[in-house]
């Protein structure tokens, strides 16, 4: 089976792995993005992690053709650098593709992380068979990718735009972009943690699965905001399916059920029944699955 290398640079964690053409992850590791200074620190961490993985699969039946790189933020037109992300300022305008190609001695292709996630769902996950797919990932930020009739929508920053910054509540929580009450600011990891009294998101999810009422309330409130945001996006993209991914998808139905209820409450009638809302099945690893498809099975 054909394989490719894959990197998913997020606001907090960078996921690294080897992915097969059926979407299965052969090897994987997560390192902190840790971008407080020079981007070369992150490049070193990526090379230290991916280098041994590439060595381990070299000499196998299928040579690695290249490394797909998913990165949070807008890309420039030739997809060689990230040019805008309030959560990752240190990486802005950094020659990411060239740096990785020099260090890894393999071709690299960049993609916006929200696009990668949508592609992973469309090819191998909960988005299969959809004709108008909206994929959102919720973590440090909120990103969205749109695939219509098998084609990625690219009209701002090589993606569908900054969907996380539609404004849901002008008096709401301050967003990293400077506005208030953006969808991102109401559902991102920091907001979920705040609702949970400062606990880490994964702890909140774990306790909710055990029946902890505060954890359940946090996920219900987060789902309410997410459903409102998705209802606001539907008249623009008219999705037949919405897949919710990112770290928070580990909450499963504890998040998806209140999201669906809020969507039905807020969306206009034509979307209430037409749009399916489902959780990702990649447990936060959809970024590398979609990145690998840049070499294994790219969309048109």
Q: What kind and span of H or E run contains 272? A: helix 269-274
Counting contacts by CB under 5 A, is residue 15 touching Zn ion? no
Out of 96, 119, 175, 243, the only residue in the binding site for Zn ion (CB under 5 A) is: 175
Counting contacts by CB under 5 A, is residue 69 touching Zn ion? no
CB of 145 to Zn ion, least distance (A): 18
For residue 128, the 8-state DSSP code is T
CB of 54 to Zn ion, least distance (A): 37
Beta strand 108-112 with 67-71 is parallel
Q: Which stretch binds Zn ion (CB under 5 A): 100-108, 137-145, 162-170, 266-274?
A: 162-170
Q: Which stretch binds Zn ion (CB under 5 A): 76-84, 150-158, 178-186, 194-202?
A: 178-186
Q: Write the CB contacts of 198 (distance below 8 Å, at least 6 apart in sequence).
A: none
CB of 83 to Zn ion, least distance (A): 17
Q: Write the CB contacts of 4 (distance below 8 Å, at least 6 apart in sequence).
A: 18, 19, 64, 65, 66, 67, 68, 292, 293, 294, 295, 296
- How far apart CA 51 and CA 54 sit, in angstroms, is 5
Counting contacts by CB under 5 A, is residue 177 touching Zn ion? yes
Of 53 and 182, the one with the shorter C-beta distance to Zn ion is 182
Give the three-class secondary structure for 111.
strand
CB of 120 to Zn ion, least distance (A): 25
CB of 79 to Zn ion, least distance (A): 24
CB of 276 to Zn ion, least distance (A): 27
CB of 162 to Zn ion, least distance (A): 8
Q: Which stretch binds Zn ion (CB under 5 A): 117-125, 181-189, 200-208, 279-287?
A: 181-189
Tokens coding 232 = 């606001």
Q: Shortest CA distance to 290 belongs to which of 124, 106, 150, 149?
A: 124
Counting contacts by CB under 5 A, is residue 163 touching Zn ion? no
Counting contacts by CB under 5 A, is residue 173 touching Zn ion? no
CB of 163 to Zn ion, least distance (A): 10
Q: Which stretch binds Zn ion (CB under 5 A): 9-17, 49-57, 76-84, 182-190?
A: 182-190
Which residue pairs from 24-32 have beta carbons closer than 8 angstroms and sit at least 24 positions apart in sequence?
25/285, 25/288, 25/289, 26/57, 27/53, 27/56, 27/57, 28/285, 28/288, 29/53
Out of 119, 182, 186, 204, the only residue in the binding site for Zn ion (CB under 5 A) is: 182
Q: Which stretch binds Zn ion (CB under 5 A): 38-46, 93-101, 140-148, 159-167?
A: 159-167
- How far apart CA 186 and CA 238 sit, in angstroms, is 23
Tokens coding 162 = 């900054």
Total residues contacting Zn ion by CB under 5 A comes to 5
Sign of the alpha-carbon torsion through 244, 248, 253, 256 = negative
* Residue for token pair 């946090």: 218
Of 173 and 199, the one with the shorter C-beta distance to Zn ion is 173
* Residue for token pair 């990702």: 280
Residue numbers at the binding site for Zn ion (CB under 5 A):
165, 175, 177, 179, 182
């Amino acid at each position: 089976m054909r394989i490719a290398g894959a990197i998913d640079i997020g606001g907090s964690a960078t996921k690294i792995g080897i992915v097969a053409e059926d979407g299965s992850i052969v090897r994987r590791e997560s390192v902190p993005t840790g971008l407080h200074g020079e981007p070369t620190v992150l490049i070193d961490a990526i090379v230290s992690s991916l280098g041994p993985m590439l060595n381990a699969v070299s000499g196998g039946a299928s040579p690695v053709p290249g490394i797909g790189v998913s990165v949070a933020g807008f890309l420039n037109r030739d997809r060689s650098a990230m040019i805008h992300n309030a959560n990752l300022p240190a990486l802005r305008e950094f020659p990411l593709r060239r740096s990785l190609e020099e260090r890894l001695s393999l071709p690299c292709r960049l993609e916006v992380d929200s696009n990668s996630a949508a592609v992973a769902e469309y090819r191998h996950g909960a988005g299969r068979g959809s004709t108008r797919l909206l994929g959102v990932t919720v973590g440090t930020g909120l990103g969205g990718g749109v695939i219509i009739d098998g084609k990625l929508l690219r009209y701002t920053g090589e993606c569908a735009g900054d969907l996380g910054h539609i404004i849901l509540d002008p008096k709401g929580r301050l967003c990293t972009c400077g506005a208030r009450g953006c969808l991102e600011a109401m559902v991102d990891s920091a907001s979920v943690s705040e609702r949970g009294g400062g606990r880490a998101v994964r702890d909140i999810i774990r306790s909710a699965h055990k029946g902890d009422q505060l954890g359940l309330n946090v996920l219900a409130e987060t789902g309410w905001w997410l459903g409102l945001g998705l209802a606001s996006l539907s008249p623009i993209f008219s999705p037949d399916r919405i897949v919710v991914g990112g770290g928070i998808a580990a909450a499963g139905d504890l998040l998806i059920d209140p999201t669906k209820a809020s969507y039905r409450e807020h969306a206009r009638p034509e979307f209430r029944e037409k749009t399916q809302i489902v959780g990702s099945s990649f447990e936060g690893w959809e970024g590398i699955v979609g990145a690998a498809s840049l070499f294994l099975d790219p969309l048109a």
